[in-house]
Amino acid sequence: MPRIDAPTIAEHRDIIWKRLRDSLLEAIEEEGYASLSLAGVARRAGIARNTIYNYAPTKDALLVAVVKSEVEPFVAALVEASSGIDDPEDRLALVVRRQLAALVPGVRGLPIVNMTETMLPAEVSASLTACFAPVLTIVAGIVEQGIAAGVFRPVADVPRLVDMMVGVMVAARRAILAGEPPDLIADETTEFLLGGLRGRKTRGRAEQKHAGAERPPATPS
């Protein structure tokens, strides 16, 4: 019977899981995903090779489980942070900035997606994409809120529009990976998305407001 390193079995499993998670992240960073094996991850984690199969049958399954475990607290924090913001434009700006910040190279956890997305089987990539479905639900809610408030233009298909927005976010993430300043990319991405979501009248009012803010005050003659 394996030795239990915690007061309860549940706590023991949690400890082992964290060791596996950290070992997988370290192995990918040092070795690359293609060359690592479950046996190697188990060795790094200091557990028996057979034990790892209680947590994941393959390295692809372990990767998906790790990404899911990283996404869940990220989504929970995003929901909490955005729930206190009434303005849909400000809520969208928060989501854009938080998501790009979470995927910046060097941040622990979610950037694992950056290192593996081009080398995975299609079904594994689809599973990783599904991990981010809750984020898309948040974005869809923001779009619907903005439409109802008259801030965003009406659209025929909100999920289709959100898919298009995902494409913009992917391009933004790749720009950051290429070395562009994250804050600049976040600002440009937010403005681009908001520009597409606003109706023509709303855009006109926003432009007038911006121009008025820049115009110097009139001087008395």
| 10-residue mean pLDDT series, the chain (221 residues) | 59 88 85 85 91 89 85 86 92 93 66 58 78 88 96 95 93 88 95 90 50 48 40
Phi and psi torsions of 108, nearest 5° = -75, 130
Residues in the chain, how many?
221
Please give the pLDDT value at position 220: 47
Give the span between the Cα atoms of 4 and 84, in whole angstroms.
Answer: 43
Please give the pLDDT value at position 200: 63
Question: Is the separation of the CB atoms in 28 and 116 below 8 Å?
Answer: yes
Label residue 106 left, alpha or beta by phi (over 0 means left) and psi (-120 to 50 means alpha).
Answer: left
Please give the pLDDT value at position 214: 44
Q: What residues contact 78, with CB distance under 8 A and at least 6 apart? A: 94, 95, 98, 99, 135, 138
Give the span between the Cα atoms of 185 and 101, in whole angstroms.
Answer: 10
Q: What is the pTM of this model?
A: 0.72
Q: What residues contact 94, with CB distance under 8 A and at least 6 apart? A: 78, 81, 82, 85
Please give the pLDDT value at position 161: 97
Q: How far is CA 144 from the centre of its chain?
A: 20
Question: Is the separation of the CB atoms in 190 and 97 below 8 Å?
Answer: yes
